[in-house]
């Protein structure tokens, strides 16, 4: 147990440093290429911080652990939305671009609703599973999202007037690659040791997926968004979370479902309701208080809601 705790701490250090390097490299890249921080957050940073979910889910799907697959993604998305945005918004009220309010947040809601209908198979059969056809639909939708982001790269150049750091191209990509490696390696250390500790306590596969694994694989997003918020870079903080949630459902569940058709546990519907409700709350929060800004009290509501719900889940297990 002592060794697992040490490795857990090492993983957390790797996550924080990896996030620092990734945000640094990605921000400089955005400015040098005259691309908005939001677009970089929705692509490079979102994909990089979703890498642990991709690795965990590929392994879980291959081993036929569907509760880990769905629990990891749905739990990660809830952790991203409620905990990470909550903490980031407490650090500094997050200003949100108009395109995020009217396009990316609704796209994220559409992803959650689409998963709900596909997994429950309202369209085809009575059995509840994510089939390879469903997975293919998710990947097509992911392609549509990438096309949208590509249009954003052209239409929303960076308007930041801050001085661009004088990094060479090699250093920029070195920071991004080393940052991603730190995030993936740190995330794996955290998840492996946290799961081992949880299993020794007799926690169910579903709860492990929704809590320990989900939180562990979301630590890169947590570290990245918190660092970005501390640097007052709201576009990376927000873009990372919304982009990761879209990546998780469309890309990672799409890949997982192609590996193996996955039986869907209907009890995950409640967690999807929480995710959809939180996303709707985030949308309407953009029109309360200061327009297009996640205020601290709204961030606190997100954070407290997740903590209460997690307490409820743990209470059911005990």
pLDDT of residue 18: 81
In a domain, 169, yes or no: no
In a domain, 310, yes or no: yes
pLDDT of residue 41: 66
In a domain, 253, yes or no: yes
In a domain, 308, yes or no: yes
What does pLDDT average to over the chain?
Answer: 83
Q: How far apart are alpha carbons 3 and 188 in whole angstroms?
A: 15
pLDDT tens digit sequence for 114-125: 999 999 986 555
What is the three-class DSSP state of 120? Answer: coil
Residue 128 sits in a domain of what CATH number? Answer: 1.20.1420.30
Alpha helix positions (H), the chain: 2-32, 37-40, 46-49, 51-62, 66-78, 85-91, 98-99, 105-119, 132-155, 169-200, 205-207, 214-230, 234-247, 253-259, 268-285, 296-317
In a domain, 192, yes or no: no
pLDDT tens digit sequence for 8-34: 788 878 877 887 788 788 778 877 777
pLDDT of residue 231: 85
What is the three-class DSSP state of 228? Answer: helix
Q: 291 or 289, which is more confident?
A: 291
* Residue that has been written with the tokens 């400089």 in this structure: 28
Q: How far apart are alpha carbons 155 and 215 in whole angstroms?
A: 35
Percent of the chain, pLDDT > 70? Answer: 89
In a domain, 165, yes or no: no
pLDDT tens digit sequence for 221-240: 888 888 888 888 877 788 77
Phi then psi for residue 84, to 5 deg, are: -70, -45
Q: Contact, 99 vs 152, CB < 8 A?
A: yes
pLDDT of residue 85: 92
Q: How far is CA 88 from CA 13, 67, 210, 226, in A?
A: 19, 29, 21, 5
Domain range enclosing 306:
39-156+203-317
CA dihedral 107, 108, 112, 118 (to 10 degrees): 40
What is the arithmetic mean of pLDDT over 37-57? 73
What is the arithmetic mean of pLDDT over 136-160? 77
Percent of the chain, pLDDT > 90? Answer: 31
Domain count for the chain, please give it: 1
pLDDT of residue 161: 45
In a domain, 269, yes or no: yes
> What does DSSP assign to residue 292?
T
pLDDT of residue 257: 94
Query: For the whole model, what pTM was predicted?
Result: 0.80
In a domain, 218, yes or no: yes
Give the list of residues 6+ apart from residue 144 with CB closer than 8 angstroms, or none. none
Q: 49 or 65, which is more confident?
A: 65
What is the arithmetic mean of pLDDT over 152-170? 63
pLDDT tens digit sequence for 52-109: 778 788 888 888 889 989 999 999 999 999 999 999 999 988 887 777 778 888 999 9
């Amino acid at each position: 147990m002592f060794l697992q705790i040490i490795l857990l701490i090492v993983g957390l250090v790797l996550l924080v440093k990896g996030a620092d390097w990734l945000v640094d490299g990605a921000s400089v890249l955005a400015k040098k290429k005259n691309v908005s921080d939001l677009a970089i957050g929705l692509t490079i940073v979102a994909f990089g911080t979703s890498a642990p979910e991709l690795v965990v889910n590929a392994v879980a799907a291959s081993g036929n652990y569907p509760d880990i697959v769905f629990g990891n993604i749905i739990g990660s998305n809830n952790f991203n939305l409620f905990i990470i945005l909550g903490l980031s918004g407490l650090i500094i009220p997050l200003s949100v671009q108009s395109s995020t309010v009217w396009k990316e947040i609704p796209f994220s809601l559409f992803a959650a609703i689409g998963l709900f209908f596909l997994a429950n198979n309202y369209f085809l059969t009575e059995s509840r599973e994510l089939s390879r056809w469903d997975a293919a639909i998710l990947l097509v939708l992911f392609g549509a999202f990438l096309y949208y982001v590509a249009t954003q790269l052209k239409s929303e150049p960076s308007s930041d007037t801050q001085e661009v750091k004088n990094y060479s191209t090699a250093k920029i990509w070195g920071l991004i690659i080393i940052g991603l490696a730190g995030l993936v390696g740190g995330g794996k250390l955290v998840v492996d040791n946290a799961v081992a500790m949880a299993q020794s306590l007799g926690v169910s596969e579903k709860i492990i997926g929704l809590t320990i694994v989900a939180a562990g694989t979301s630590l890169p997003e947590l570290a990245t968004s918190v660092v970005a918020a501390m640097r007052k870079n709201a576009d990376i903080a927000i873009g990372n979370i919304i982009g990761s949630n879209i990546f998780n459902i469309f890309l990672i569940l799409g890949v997982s479902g192609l590996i193996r058709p996955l039986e869907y546990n209907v009890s995950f519907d409640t967690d999807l309701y929480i995710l959809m409700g939180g996303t709707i709350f985030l949308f309407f929060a953009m029109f309360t208080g200061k327009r297009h800004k996640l205020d601290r009290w709204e961030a606190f509501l997100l954070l407290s809601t997740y903590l209460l719900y997690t307490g409820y889940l743990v209470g059911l297990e005990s």
